[in-house]
Structure 1
Amino acid sequence: MSVKNKVQLITYPDSLGGDLKELNKVLLKHFSDIFEGGVHILPPFPSSGDRGFAPLTYLEIEPQFGTWEDIKAIGENFDVLVDLMVNHISQKSKYFQDFLKKGRKSEYADLFITLDKIWPEGKPVKEDVDKIFLRRPLPYSTFTINETDEKEKVWTTFGRTEPSEQIDLDIKSEKVKKLVDDFFSNFAKNNIKIVRLDAVGYVIKKLGTSCFFVEPEIYDFLEWIMKLAKASGIELLPEVHSHYSIQNKLARHGFWVYDFILPYSILDALINKSSTKLMDYLKVRPSKQFTMLDCHDGVPVKPDMDDLIDTKEARKVVDLCVERGSTLSLILSDEHKAPDGFDVHQIRGTYYSMLGCDDDAYIAARAIQFFAPGVPQVYYVGLLAGENDYEAAERTGEGREINRHNYTVDEIEKSVQKKVVQRLLKLIRFRNDYAAFNGEFKVLDSTKDEIKLSWQKDDKRCSLFIDLNTNKTVIEYVNEEGSLVKYLV
């Protein structure tokens, strides 16, 4: 299996029509020649929270979404990508429920990180905890074992509840390794072609470190899981939200990585009418990347953009997005905030809304994304040029729902007819079909208020020109007859 250099879709299993069967119908009816790179189905597994990201198992599909047969059916026409939350599993999983009942006598006890695996006698040391990159006030939760009434502290990196809903797995455990092997075997059997390793940066717990992307141990783990995936004919995509230098390290080790720098950089260029930082970045970034503008979370700011942004300028971008309806996710730990207190982790909202629902600006943003080297992913809300869903965010109390609208079949039919969506679909077809995108990429000299990029392979070449003052986007390309054609995007 090799990743196709064509556009992919990202969607929840129930966000385009209501379930997996409807998703397949929608894909075949409207987008059969659009997502030639595949479909990333956000967790379709039984889950106890975090919209699928607290999975009970990877061996089953949540019945309200459908079955593995539905996944296989989608896989007949599109390469399917799914997530493996390799760092944790749900508190409601049969594995942890058995541990809750029997404690250390449970056959699954070794799957989890009881604190005696980290500290002598299982007593946390404040100096160690202070060094950890915390995603919640403490990196562990306390549970009461049913049969003995004993208290057990286990490692929990994530989770909004106390105790946490997401229980970390001990990747040193042979039982965890066997479980992961079972998951990959099941993925292969059901036509999964790519697996995204969600939260993989947190799998190594080592005293004296931040317990985030611990080197060199993280590479040993990734090499082990890469072999496992390859044996099943599956490609891996590690997902690590962090300083851009970590993506560069992963790329140097030969892994696919996510370009979490591009979404903000494009937003900044279009809002401030200046291409300088974006063009500088495009000259040096790794090419073996998956690119995106929007996703089920938000546009990454800190720590991804650390050292790449001036926080005063960033405040202007953030404030304008907020003015246009976005909300913010903030950094928890003081040491990860900027010296001036700037603490924006992600900007939440649809990318279309962040750009003021300006069709030309939105198409310019997508054109830049598609010309940047890498495999482009388009989130389903962005595909339909969706606007902020304030009602969903308010109803659920989950800020990220602002960009997670669930479309009915009727809403999809109407959205597909929008001019901006038709322009986007035409642009995606060009990106999928034009041969030069498998050739050589160049950042061309341009003024501060322009963007000029090009691709060439043999006699095929295309160039992108964007005037940031007007957001007018033009592609010039050599057609089949060898003539130079201008395409106003």
Structure 2
Amino acid sequence: MNSKNHTNQIQLITYIDRLSGGKINNLHQMLQGPLAGLFDGVHLLPFYPPIDGEDAGFDPTDHTAVDSRLGNWDDIRTLAADFPVMADMIVNHMSAQSPQFLDVLEHGEKSPYWPLFLTKDTVFGEGATAEQISAVYRPRPTPFFTDIALKDGRKVPFWTTFTANQIDIDVNSAAGKAYLNAILERFTENGVKYIRLDAAGYAIKKAGTRCFMLPETFEFIAALSERAKARGMVCLVEIHGYHQTQIEIAKRCDMVYDFALPPLVLHTLFSRNAEALKHWLDIAPRNCITVLDTHDGIGIVDAADYQGQPGLLTDPELDTLVETIHKNSKGSSKLATGSAANNVDLYQVNCSFYDALGQNDQQYLLARAIQLFCPGISQIYYAGLLAMENDVELLQKSRVGRDIGRPYLTADKVENALQKPVVKALCQLIKLRRSLQAFNGKFSQTLNNDQYQLCWQHEAHTASLEISLASLQATIHWQHGGQQAASLSLNSL
């Protein structure tokens, strides 16, 4: 890694098979070739077998293996030597097709892996009340228990937070701890620098609670983060939820996502009002990863209220936000959101960020400039880097709502996208951001009527993004210590 401040970085987030023609080596070459000078690291979305499973790699049959269609661990280690790698650590569940679970189906309680998986009885004992069941927080409309038949014919209600093919793990069991340690060991051996704890908020279940973000969950996250840190790795916790919860989580781990940023940026541009965004940036954790778009769409719950506590946006503001996204995307996002396309998530809108802004190049560049001027490591999703439109054709083919923002790109499609004026401008913006030493320093912001300003200063180095909210015109000003000041209008890019 270069000598830049830990948080003064920009990372690419991508599926290997959807960007680089399906090979780790191809992605490495792309980062050193057409994408040279843009990124300090790369978040590789799940590369474990099977990458083309029910949940695009988030249902691993072997979390310690690389899907052979992509390459092997040697390829990961080689990539990590040039671009620090973030890998997903899926702590909540594993595939129903995994050897461990298949052994459970074959041998029942006699399987050495029986304690690895959560059942209804594991948490509730022999009798769960209707009140206890209804209290459990559901991120998806499907049941959180799935009756699965063992070889002897008995049906056992296994805990399945997400899908029936993703069996929840008992992370407190000896088998669960050994499973997670094996993943950490494999990551350590192969140079993984950052770990993203996927679905960590659901990892601890306890009767009589929501089974989501419990005090014990915080303890689990903190302990796992310490184990990773002892191996020289940085831990990122991935949780969609109330913004105050994110603030609390950030105190107990290395890094959290700023999932509230995407809806707040959209609200700012749609309403020409930055008050909600400024308020959030006043209180937001500084040890964060910022995103606008991800493989999971645009989160909404992160800006919403919770159990009577006010959110960053009001319900009417969120309703307007969602409807504006649908309008700007000419209805394509509505095809992939909610009950449409068998969509499984209740807290997001499935839409590319470019389409959410109606493919308006000026507003898209401004949204990215805001992201790049916010505190934290900036992660840019591969489809967002290339200003991709909603992939309605893939959605119609797969009937998976999130696929609308997960396009499969050939080398030719990538090359063509890199020639688009908005993409060229974004790449120029990224390179400028990476060149400015001011981002190693302190962040501040001001909002005076129509003028919103995001500022950074490090010793004699300064940088600012000045936005006129009425017109959405913006200018970047910067000065390297002792050198002549410079300015760049986003509209001139």
2:78 and 2:251 map into 1 onto residues whose CA distance is: 36
Deviations 1:58-82 (CA, angstroms, capped at 9, x unpaired): 2111122221122122212101101
* 2:277 is the alignment partner of 1:297: no
Deviations 1:186-217 (CA, angstroms, capped at 9, x unpaired): 011111110100000001111111000011x1
SS where residue 444 of structure 1 aligns? strand
Q: Is the 8 A contact 2:137 2:212 kept in 1?
A: yes
Q: Is the 8 A contact 1:100 1:145 kept in 2?
A: yes
Residue 239 of structure 1: CA displacement? Answer: 0.6
Partner of 1:65: 70
Deviations 1:20-74 (CA, angstroms, capped at 9, x unpaired): 22211211111221111x1001000003321111111121111222211221222
Q: Is the 8 A contact 1:302 1:331 kept in 2?
A: no
Tell me the amino acid that sits aligned with residue 354 of structure 1: A
In terms of mean alpha carbon deviation, does 312-321 or 355-364 score higher?
A: 312-321
Partner of 1:158: 162
Distance 1:136 1:28, change over 3 A: same
1:227 and 1:314 map into 2 onto residues whose CA distance is: 37
SS where residue 192 of structure 1 aligns? coil
Partner of 1:246: 245
2:178 and 2:389 map into 1 onto residues whose CA distance is: 44
In terms of mean alpha carbon deviation, does 471-480 or 427-436 score higher?
A: 471-480
Q: Is the 8 A contact 2:119 2:156 kept in 1?
A: yes
1:300 and 1:385 map into 2 onto residues whose CA distance is: 19
In terms of mean alpha carbon deviation, does 289-298 or 277-286 score higher?
A: 277-286
**1:82-481 matched pairs, under 5 angstroms:** 82-121=87-126, 123-134=127-138, 135-146=140-151, 148-159=152-163, 164-215=164-215, 217-302=216-301, 304-306=303-305, 307-325=311-329, 326-327=333-334, 329-330=337-338, 345-447=347-449, 449-479=450-480, 481=482
1:480 and 1:414 map into 2 onto residues whose CA distance is: 38
In terms of mean alpha carbon deviation, does 235-244 or 135-144 score higher?
A: 135-144
Q: Is the 8 A contact 1:301 1:344 kept in 2?
A: no
Residue 468 of structure 1: CA displacement? Answer: 2.8
Q: Is the 8 A contact 1:91 1:166 kept in 2?
A: yes
2:346 and 2:219 map into 1 onto residues whose CA distance is: 32
2:388 and 2:402 map into 1 onto residues whose CA distance is: 14
1:183 and 1:176 map into 2 onto residues whose CA distance is: 11
* 2:29 is the alignment partner of 1:28: no
Residue 452 of structure 1: CA displacement? Answer: 0.7
Q: Is the 8 A contact 2:260 2:302 kept in 1?
A: no
SS where residue 40 of structure 1 aligns? strand
Q: Is the 8 A contact 2:222 2:253 kept in 1?
A: no
Deviations 1:96-134 (CA, angstroms, capped at 9, x unpaired): 00001110000111101133222233x432111000002
Q: Give structure 1 stretches of 5+ with no counterpart.
A: 333-342
Distance 1:109 1:3, change over 3 A: farther
Residue 421 of structure 1: CA displacement? Answer: 1.0
Tell me the amino acid that sits aligned with residue 202 of structure 2: Y
Which consecutive aligned stretches of 4+ in structure 1 deviate over 6 angstroms post-superposition?
A: none
In terms of mean alpha carbon deviation, does 128-137 or 475-484 score higher?
A: 475-484
In terms of mean alpha carbon deviation, does 100-109 or 449-458 score higher?
A: 449-458
Tell me the amino acid that sits aligned with residue 57 of structure 1: D
Q: Is the 8 A contact 2:195 2:234 kept in 1?
A: yes
SS where residue 295 of structure 2 aligns? coil
Q: Is the 8 A contact 1:90 1:167 kept in 2?
A: yes
SS where residue 397 of structure 2 aligns? helix
Give the total of aligned pairs: 470
Partner of 1:337: none
Tell me the amino acid that sits aligned with residue 279 of structure 1: K
Q: Is the 8 A contact 1:6 1:431 kept in 2?
A: no
SS where residue 454 of structure 1 aligns? strand
1:138 and 1:344 map into 2 onto residues whose CA distance is: 14
Tell me the amino acid that sits aligned with residue 173 of structure 1: S
Q: Is the 8 A contact 2:16 2:27 kept in 1?
A: yes
Residue 255 of structure 1: CA displacement? Answer: 3.4
1:114 and 1:477 map into 2 onto residues whose CA distance is: 57
Distance 1:3 1:180, change over 3 A: farther
Distance 1:168 1:352, change over 3 A: same
1:157 and 1:67 map into 2 onto residues whose CA distance is: 30
Deviations 1:310-341 (CA, angstroms, capped at 9, x unpaired): 22232222112112222364499xxxxxxxxx
2:6 and 2:439 map into 1 onto residues whose CA distance is: 14
TM-score, with normalisation over the residues of structure 2? Answer: 0.92
Alpha-carbon RMSD: 1.8
Q: Is the 8 A contact 1:136 1:158 kept in 2?
A: no
Deviations 1:245-272 (CA, angstroms, capped at 9, x unpaired): 1101012224311101100000011111
